[in-house]
Amino acid sequence: MRKKIFSWLVASPPRTLAIGFAFIIGLGSFLLHLPVASSSGEETRYIDALFTATSATCVTGLVVVDTGDHYSVFGQIVILTMIQIGGLGFMSMATLFAIFLKRRISLKERLILQEALNQSSIEGIVRLVRRVVLYALTIEAAGALLLTIRFLTNMSPGRAIYYGVFHAVSFFNNAGFDLMGGFSSLTGYADDPWVNLVSMALIVVGGLGFVVLSDLTDLRGGRRLSLHSKVVLTMSGSLILFGAIVVFAFEYANPGTMGPLNTGTKILTAFMQSVSPRTAGVNTLNLTDLRQATQFFIIILMFIGASPGSTGGGIKTTTFAALLGAVWAIIRGREDVVMFRYRLAQERVYKALTLTLLALALVLTATMILSTTEDHHFLMILFEVVSAFGTVGLSLGLTSDLTLFGKIVIMLMMFAGRLGPLTLGYALVPKRDKVLYREAEGKIIIG
């Protein structure tokens, strides 16, 4: 019987992942809805507990009630646990998928592999998951230590440690939950380089994906970076820099945001507002006061998101890179997408295109539907939907204003956004009918 359940679970990893997430959300929402989970000692409405649990497990960070104000320490620890399980679970599974996909060449080989999975591979999986957990905990511990040192200057030691741990875990998992109260996120720390740099480092590292982290660690052993890692690092770096420049340019003179800040803080906030939408979801500027142009630009960053197999969401940097690669190839008059001297298979580019168009269709459809049920401006609704789909957690204030229907749609978007791109990336592997040799082919993970 146990063997039967196990083979049913490994038969379709995306299904297993979806069931696992649903189970954690169910359990978490039950705990969060208890009176002991709220700071007032009153029961939390179930729909709000469910929303929080979904948001935490999908590491999104959209909140209908403020995490710091509304929940008790017990409630906050439940949330933190869900973030940790959601983030690590997803990261491990995504990494497994990537490895599984790498091997997945023919149907025959796949069948052999699946059989094999029942016997010898379990220890391989255990080893991999252990490594993912080790990496994550190490980085989180370092982040927690650095944040605690800073918080000790304005908090009691116990509180400083608690805040250090909570925010390090939240940021590394790109969860975007915080304890600052009043839906303020990190706006109170806008001019604090220490908090900002540590937070950004946690967010960026968490968003690179385990494969890249593993590659980077192996660099000391003289191994070279894989194509995938090169693409992820280049795209992430470029997006952060480009994003910061755009935010800086649009907000420089805005009296509601950067206007009153000194140049150093302007630069710091520009980088934070560029890093965080992909897809951490903390903010140091008041988002509602941003210019519409900046708000829309942030929507684009949220849509692109982080890298495959990371704690972040979105269509992923590599997907975006494949699209840009096609544009560049056509402009240069080349037939193939070439990155770092490797040709990308047509199938990868088509897949990137497919993922992007399906994501776009989902996001736009949800936005159009919500714009008939929620009495707000289109941009505000689009922002919220993309934030949910990209598991970002930034909001222009719609979350706490959502109708019941709106909450359900946003919850579904968080769930779809967390599992969708990965599942699509996993499911949409075309059968190869022929192998044609041109340049040596390089692989990057899409989705």
Interface residues with a copy of itself (CB under 8 A) are 250, 291-293, 295-297, 300, 323-324, 326-327, 329-331, 333-337, 346-347, 349-351, 353-354, 357-358, 364, 367-369, 371-372, 377-379, 428-434, 436, 438
58-66, 117-125, 220-228, 323-331 -> range binding K ion (CB under 5 A) = 58-66
Residue 388 site contact among a copy of itself, K ion, none (CB < 5 to 8 Å, cut-off depends on kind)? none
245-284 mask for K ion (x: CB under 5 A)? ------------------------------------x---
Based on CB atoms, which residue is closest to K ion, 100 or 271? 271
For the chain, how many helices (H) and strands (E)? 17, 2
Based on CB atoms, which residue is closest to K ion, 162 or 171? 171
- End-to-end Cα, the chain, rounded Å: 34
Compute the least distance from the CB of residue 376 to a copy of itself, in Å.
9
Residue 45 site contact among K ion, a copy of itself, none (CB < 5 to 8 Å, cut-off depends on kind)? none
The Cα–Cα gap between 279 and 373 comes to 27
* Partner residues linked to 337 by β-bridges: 344
Strand-strand pairing, 342-344 and 337-339 = antiparallel
Tally of residues, the chain? 447
Residue from 29, 50, 52, 61 that binds K ion (CB under 5 A)? Answer: 61
Long-range contacts of 367-376 (CB under 8 A, 24+ apart): 369/409, 370/406, 370/409, 373/403, 373/405, 373/406, 374/398, 374/401, 374/402, 374/403, 374/406, 376/401
Tokens of 231: 């693409």
Residue 379 site contact among a copy of itself, K ion, none (CB < 5 to 8 Å, cut-off depends on kind)? a copy of itself
Max Cα–Cα distance, the chain, nearest Å: 67
The Cα–Cα gap between 54 and 35 comes to 19
Residue 58 vs residues 21, 246, 328, 413, 422: alpha-carbon distances, Å = 8, 29, 34, 10, 13
Contact 276/249 with Cβ under 8 angstroms?
Answer: no
Residue from 393, 417, 421, 425 that binds K ion (CB under 5 A)? Answer: 393
Please give the distance of CA 376 from its chain centroid, rounded to a whole number: 26
153-161, 174-182, 256-264, 353-361 -> range binding K ion (CB under 5 A) = 174-182
Residue 440 site contact among a copy of itself, K ion, none (CB < 5 to 8 Å, cut-off depends on kind)? none
Residue 61 site contact among a copy of itself, K ion, none (CB < 5 to 8 Å, cut-off depends on kind)? K ion
Compute the least distance from the CB of residue 337 to a copy of itself, in Å.
8
Residue from 176, 206, 417, 420 that binds K ion (CB under 5 A)? Answer: 176
117-125, 154-162, 384-392, 398-406 -> range binding K ion (CB under 5 A) = 384-392
Residues that bind K ion (CB under 5 A): 61, 174, 176, 281, 392-393
